């Protein structure tokens, strides 16, 4: 029987973490926990209900009305409504960065994430998985890519989803998101001391997946 392990993938916005995590989870039959979708869901709820994202107290009060459920087929449900596509807009992305600064939001979602992770054979991606959520993860990966590469990827994703997209606007939003994530007071984006950095700028999806699978096998052998 293969050794049960937990995998944490951290990195900046649009670095392809979720895509890789989902592909690896499918190949290895792991549980995939989309932490980014959870923060996006909180932001989407606030936006939808006209709650000021910059009002920490108002956002904190909103948490008691939020229930998030992730399914095996990668669907995201917010209070039993499928919001899988609605939470992928650039507005919600920036909103997620904003609400993730608040301690109450992080405490609420980190607790949920840890509960699922206790089952073993899980893969999580986000901004602070290896440093805060799962500091004792068996394998930590810090996945990066250039701003230009990430902007192009997000642009193509939005086009495929039928969403309006402007490459230069997306590039500026990614740079803004990077700054917000790296400079927030609570759980800033940073590479864990024992994480393996993986630059995917010039790699295909298949090459990245193969590299992660190699790291998983190596981790199992240790």
95 is in an annotated binding site: no
Cα separation of 102 and 95, whole Å? 12
Sheet strand arrangement including 76-78: 68-70, 76-78, 81-82
Beta strand ranges found along 76-217 (DSSP E)? 76-78, 81-82, 122-126, 139-144, 196-199
17 is known to lie in a ligand binding site: yes
84 annotated to bind ligand: no
Residue 10 to residue 119: CA distance in whole angstroms: 20
CB 9 within 8 A of CB 174: no
On whether 19 is known to bind a ligand per the annotation, the reply is yes
As a whole number of angstroms, the distance between CA 46 and CA 172 comes to 23
11 labelled binding-site residue:
yes
* Separation of alpha carbons 39 and 36, rounded Å: 5
| 14 in a known ligand binding site | yes
Query: Is 8 among the annotated ligand-binding positions?
Result: no
90-99 vs 35-48: helix axis angle to the nearest 10? 100
Query: Residue 37, annotated ligand binder?
Result: no
Distance CA 141, CA 19 (A): 14
Tokens, residue 55: 């009002």
The answer to whether 35 is annotated as binding is: no
Nearest to 82 by CA among 90, 70, 72: 70
Residue list, annotated binding site: 11-19
Residue list, annotated binding site for ATP: 11-19
């Amino acid at each position: 029987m293969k050794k049960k392990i937990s995998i944490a993938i951290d990195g900046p916005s649009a670095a392809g973490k979720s895509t890789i995590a989902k592909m690896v989870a499918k190949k290895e039959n792991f549980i995939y926990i989309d932490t980014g979708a959870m923060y996006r869901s909180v932001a989407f709820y606030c936006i939808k209900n006209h709650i000021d994202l910059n009002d920490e107290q108002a956002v904190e009060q909103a948490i008691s009305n939020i229930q998030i459920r992730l399914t095996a087929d990668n669907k995201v449900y917010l209070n039993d409504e499928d919001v899988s596509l609605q939470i992928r807009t650039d507005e919600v992305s920036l909103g997620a960065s904003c609400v993730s600064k608040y301690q109450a939001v992080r405490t609420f979602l980190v607790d949920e994430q840890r509960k699922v992770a206790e089952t073993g054979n899980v893969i999580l991606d986000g901004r602070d998985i290896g440093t805060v959520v799962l500091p004792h993860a068996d394998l930590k990966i810090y996945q990066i890519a250039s701003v230009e590469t990430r902007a192009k990827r997000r642009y193509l994703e939005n086009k495929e989803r039928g969403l309006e997209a402007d490459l230069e606007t997306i590039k500026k939003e990614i740079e803004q998101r990077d700054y917000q994530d790296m400079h927030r007071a609570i759980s800033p984006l940073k590479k864990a001391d024992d994480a393996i950095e993986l630059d995917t700028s010039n790699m295909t999806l298949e090459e990245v997946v193969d590299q992660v699978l190699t790291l998983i096998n190596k981790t199992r052998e240790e």
